[in-house]
A and B are shown apart, each in its own frame.
Chain A
Amino acid sequence: MSEKKKGELLIDHNHDGIDRRGFLKCMAWAGTGALCVMQGGVLKSYSLSRLSDLGAKAAGELSFVQISDSHMGFNKAANPDVVGTLKAAIDKINGLAMPPEFMLHTGDISHLSKPEEFDTVDQILKGASAKDVFFVPGEHDVLGDDGKQYLERYGKNAKGAGWYSFDKKGVHFIGLVNVLNLKAGGLGTLGQEQLEWMKADVKHLKHSTPIVVFAHIPLWSVYPEWGWGTEDSAQALAYLEKFGSVTVLNGHIHQTMQKVEGNVTFHTAASTAFPQPAPGKADSPGPMKVPAEQLKNILGITDVNYVRGQHALAVVDSSLA
C-alpha cells in the first residue's frame, strides 16, 4: 500500500513519476476502506474516512455494487458463519446513501456447487434493496458438472458457458467466464469461442462508451504462481484498446487490489466469506485465519458509481465492520 498521506491512497500517474503504462498496484485493505475515482484513466483512491471531502463528486448517474466469493457452504475456522457475513454485506448495501441500481456477483457463489448452497445465497440476496443481480461463475460454482447447473440457474440469457453483455445508462457491461476447461499447470481460460463473441460484441460500440468487464479470476497477472491470472486475457483486453474508459472487476483472490494500465483500471473485490493471504505471503492461497473480531474488517463489498460525461467510475470498497 503506497499511503502518501494519512487517510489518502493516491494513485496519480501525472504526479508520482511512475510511467503511465507501467505496472502499479495498490493494496487497499478493506479494513480501512477506499473510494476510487477514475478520471480519464487516472485513478484516485481515498480512505472512507475522507468521503466527506468528495461530497457530490462521488455521486453519479449509475451506481452498482459488486459482491464476490460468498462460498456458501464453507464452514471452516477462517469463517464458520458465511451466512452471517453475506447478510452483513447485504445490510451494508441496503444502508448505502445512494441505493445501487443492481449488483454484480463475481463468482464462487457456492463452495461446493451444491443446490442448497445456491438456494441459500439466492434467498439472502432477495433481502437486498437492489433486486437485479448479474452473475459470473467461479470455479467453485461449476464443480462436477462443468457448469451445467450454474447455467440452468443463472445463465438463461447467456451465451456459451454463461457469458453475456448488457447496457445500463450508456455503460456497456460484459460478463465473462474464465473458470472452465482449465489445463494442467495453467491459469484461468476464456477460450476462443468466448473471445470471438466478445470481439463481435464490442465491435460496433462507440469509442467513448465506458466499458465494465467482470469475471471471476483476475484478467491481469496478480500472481500466476498461485493461478491468479487468466491465460488469454491479453487477447480480450486487446479488443478494448480503442475505448477510452475500461474497468475490469474480478473476485477470486479474496482481497482488494487495484492496478491502472493505460485505459484500463483493474480492480479485485473482497470476499464476503473469508480472506486469503497477499500474493506470496503464505505457503498457499488457502483461507487466512484472522482473529474473529477482525474478520469483518477484511470482508466487504464494492460500490461503483458512474458519472456520465466525466468518464469516471468511482469504486468504493467498504468492509463489513
Chain B
Amino acid sequence: MRRSVSTAVLLVALGFGMAGLGAGTRHFSANAQLKPETTEVKIDNFSFGPGTLTVPVGTTVTWTNRDDIPHTVVSTEGAFKSKVLDTDEKFSFTFSRAGSYPYFCSIHPKMTGKVVVQ
C-alpha cells in the first residue's frame, strides 16, 4: 500500500509537474483507500447476473452486454448512467461510497439489479 501511494505521487509529479499538484492530491486520495477490485456483471437473456452484487468500497464494476439486443445500465437514483450498450459492449463504474445502488435498463425497465457497496 505504502509503495503504491508513493508511486502514484511520483507519477502525478512527473505528469503534471508542480502546476498539477492540486489535481494530483485528489487522485492520490481516491486511490489511497483500497487497491481497486474489478467485478463483472453479465447481461444475458434480458437479465443482470448476479442480480444483486455486494462489493467493498472502491470496487470497479463492469457490465457486459451479451444479448443480441442493446441494453443500458442506469442508476435509479442518478448515481451512474451508461450509454447504450450494443452486443459485447461494456460499461464500468467505480463505487467510492458505501450504500445500496439499485439500477435498471432504461430500454427494458423490467430488467433491474442492485449493487450493495460496503
* A and B interact physically: yes
B84 and A144 within 8 A (CB): yes
Q: What are the interface flags for A202-245 relative to B under an 8 Å C-beta threshold, 1 for contact and 0 otherwise?
A: 00000000000000000000000111000000000000000000
A285 and B70 within 8 A (CB): no
> Contacts A143-B84, A144-B84, A182-B106 given: A286-B112 contact, CB under 8 Å?
no
> Contacts A144-B84, A283-B45 given: A78-B68 contact, CB under 8 Å?
yes
Contact of A184 among B47, B67, B69, B104 (CB under 8 A): B104
B88 to chain A, nearest CB (A): 11
User: Which residues of chain A come closer than 8 Å to B83, judged between CB atoms?
Assistant: 144
B68 and A111 within 8 A (CB): no
The range of chain B's interface size is 20 to 34
A287 and B45 within 8 A (CB): no
> Contacts A76-B68, A112-B86, A144-B84 given: A285-B107 contact, CB under 8 Å?
no
B70 and A140 within 8 A (CB): yes
Of the listed residues B68, B102, B103, the one surrounded by the most CB atoms of chain A closer than 10 A to its CB is B68
Q: With an 8 A cutoff between CB atoms, is B27 at the interface?
A: no
Q: Name the prevailing secondary structure of the B interface residues.
A: loop
Of the listed residues A112, A113, A140, A182, the one surrounded by the most CB atoms of chain B closer than 10 A to its CB is A182
User: Which residues of chain B come closer than 8 Å to A185, judged between CB atoms?
Assistant: 104, 109-110, 112
| Interface of chain B residues 40 through 63 with chain A (CB within 8 A) | 45-47
User: Which residues of chain B come closer than 8 Å to A77, judged between CB atoms?
Assistant: 68
Number of interchain pairs (Cβ within 8 Å): 56
User: Which residues of chain B come closer than 8 Å to A112, judged between CB atoms?
Assistant: 70, 84, 86
Contact of A284 among B46, B86, B106, B112 (CB under 8 A): B46
Alpha-carbon separation in the docked complex, A143 to B103 (Å): 17
Q: With an 8 A cutoff between CB atoms, is A22 at the interface?
A: no
B80 to chain A, nearest CB (A): 14
Alpha-carbon separation in the docked complex, A43 to B44 (Å): 39
Q: With an 8 A cutoff between CB atoms, is A127 at the interface?
A: no
Alpha-carbon separation in the docked complex, A35 to B70 (Å): 34
Q: With an 8 A cutoff between CB atoms, is B108 at the interface?
A: yes
Q: What are the interface flags for A129-172 relative to B under an 8 Å C-beta threshold, 1 for contact and 0 otherwise?
A: 00000000001100110000000000000000000000000000
Q: Which 8 A-B pairs have the closest CB atoms?
A: A184-B104, A284-B45, A284-B46, A76-B68, A227-B110, A182-B109, A143-B84, A283-B45
Q: Beyond A143-B70, A185-B110: 13 further Cβ-contacts under 8 Å? A: A78-B68, A111-B70, A139-B107, A143-B84, A144-B83, A182-B109, A185-B104, A186-B110, A187-B109, A187-B110, A226-B110, A284-B45, A286-B45
30 example contacts (A-B, Cβ-Cβ < 8 A) are as follows A74-B68, A76-B68, A78-B68, A112-B70, A139-B107, A139-B108, A140-B70, A143-B70, A143-B84, A143-B107, A182-B109, A184-B102, A184-B109, A184-B112, A185-B104, A185-B109, A185-B110, A186-B109, A186-B110, A187-B109, A225-B110, A226-B46, A227-B108, A283-B45, A284-B46, A284-B67, A285-B46, A286-B46, A287-B68, A287-B69
Give B residues with C-beta under 8 Å from A.
45-47, 67-70, 76, 83-84, 86-87, 102-104, 106-110, 112
